Structure 1
Amino acid sequence: MPTGVAIRDVREQLFDAADRILLRDGPSGLTSRAVTTEAGVAKGVLHKHFADFDAFLADFVLDRVHRMAPQALALREAAGRGTVAGNVTEALVGVFGSVAVAIVALITFRDELRARLRETWPAGVPVLTEAASMLGDYLARERDLGRVGAAAEPQFLAAMLIGSAHLLFADRTGPPPTRADVERMVTNVLP
């Protein structure tokens, strides 16, 4: 890109490039040069908008976590409709069918990124803890409606579902699990 040309939504352009690289090449392929090349911008553009590459990555991860808000709202509004297993399955496929699994690997891969995220996200892995919170809230609503057992503990169920789904989706070398695979896991976890 020529110098002096205004770039619209540069952060989003860089974040979208990071998504594509993570999905294609994994965390080891995610470098500042790879991001700027993929985004079609000069390398200096990234450093103009972020203090360093780990600051970029921290903002990228948090942006992707905040993108889960519409999915959380949709799941919350699904309480009482459809089946609980079907709603949970759709939520898990939505979370893990996105860049979430690659973000978990990225956070695990980069010590400095984990340290930066701890400044604003004190516990857990941001994408997974947000997904667990989303599922826990939904399951609590379903329990209140009598569609999940009264003795169920939604936050524990949510953690089991997130952990189990992560194990299903974590293998980047084979085909992703089918919706039926995810639903079978969900029906085995839910009481």
Structure 2
Amino acid sequence: MSPRKAAALRDRDDSDLRGHLIATAAQLLAEQGGTGLTVRAIARAAGVADGVLYNHFADKEELLAAALRAHVDTVHRGLSPLPWPGTASVAENLIAYLAQGLAMHRAVLPVFASLLAQPAVLAQFGATPGGERDWRDRLADYLRAEHELGRLDPAADLDAAVAMLAGICHDEALSTLLPTASRPTPPTAVGSVIATLLAGIGSRSAPSA
């Protein structure tokens, strides 16, 4: 580590250094996953002594949970804006939502999969609120708004629709982690998925909306 970098790190206040450690760990998670990621590796990448991490976190699990949350929030912030209810057609809008969901899951699920052997990290992550609204929640809000606008069947099971679209995202992302069973969803299939879904929940009076 260069003297200039060492001096800069020494001059950081506690909150700034904590954020630096989280950002460093989040970058390592995104690049290489959590399997085998050690405190020493994180400290070296951050340019600090190993023991410094324990001045800010109770253990490695707490740091990795914070880093995982930071990674997920970063992915959400990088997603394209989603269409508003009542604009374009429901089919076009849901294609945009599903395409974004697929992109989001491709970015985060491999990192989650690499941490399956560390349930304490995932438990702490689940107990930590995110700084960005989750894609699934945005999708649910969108469908409820379209339902209120009358552009979906009044009897539509919106929770089931959200679960179906989220399940497709999980299946596609997880399949890429299993080379022998890989079956990624091609872009042309996204429209077919939405058409099939809308056959069940679309407005009966305006099926094209």
TM-score by length of 2: 0.66
Q: What is the distance in 2 between the residues matched to 1:145 and 1:25?
A: 45
- After TM superposition, the structure 1 stretch with the greater mean CA deviation from structure 2, 7-16 or 52-61, is 7-16
Given the alignment of the two structures, is residue 87 of structure 1 paired with residue 96 of structure 2, yes or no? yes
119 and 93 in structure 1: CA distance in 2 versus 1, 3 angstrom threshold: closer
For the pair 1:53 / 2:60, whether they are aligned, the reply is yes
Among residues 89, 96, 103, which one is paired with 2:105 in the alignment? 96
Q: Distance in 2 between matches of 1:190 and 1:180?
A: 16
Residue 150 of structure 2 aligns with which residue? 146
Q: What secondary structure sits across from 2:21 in the alignment?
A: helix
**Residue 41 (structure 1) aligns with:** 48
Q: Which residue of 1 aligns with 2:118?
A: 110
Structure 1: distance between partners of 2:61 and 2:54: 11
Instruction: Tell me the distance in 2 between the aligned counterparts of 1:185 and 1:168.
Output: 15
Aligned length: 183
Q: Could you tell me how far 1:37 is from its partner in structure 2?
A: 2.5
| 2-structure distance, mates of 1:167, 1:130 | 18
Cα offset, 1:141, TM superposition: 1.4
Task: Choose from 6, 10, 15 the match for 1:5.
Answer: 10
Give how far 1:177 is off: 4.6
CA distance in 2 between counterparts of 1:136 and 1:67 reads: 21
Kept in 2, the 8 Å contact 1:36–1:43? The answer is yes
Name the counterpart of 2:35. Answer: 28
Report sequence identity in percent.
27
The AA in structure 2 aligned to 1:84 is: N
Compared CA separation, residues 28 and 184, structure 1 to 2 (3 A): farther
Of 14, 21, 27, which aligns to 1:14? 21
Provide the aligned C-alpha RMSD in A: 3.7
Structure 1 range deviating more: 150-159 or 63-72: 63-72
Tell me which moved more, 142-151 or 172-181: 172-181
Q: Which moved more, 1:110-119 or 1:154-163?
A: 110-119
1:17 Cα offset (Å) = 2.9
More displaced 10-residue stretch of structure 1: 153-162 or 31-40:
31-40
The structure-2 alpha-carbon separation of the partners of 1:19 and 1:116, relative to structure 1 and needing over 3 Å to count, comes to closer
Could you say which structure has the larger radius of gyration?
A: 2
AA aligned to 1:23 is A
**Could you say if the C-alpha distance between residues 113 and 24 of structure 1 is closer, same or farther in structure 2, counting changes exceeding 3 Å?**
same
1:92 is displaced (CA, Å) by 0.5
TM-superposed CA distance for 1:180, in Å, is: 0.7
Scaled by the length of structure 1, the TM-score of the pair is: 0.70
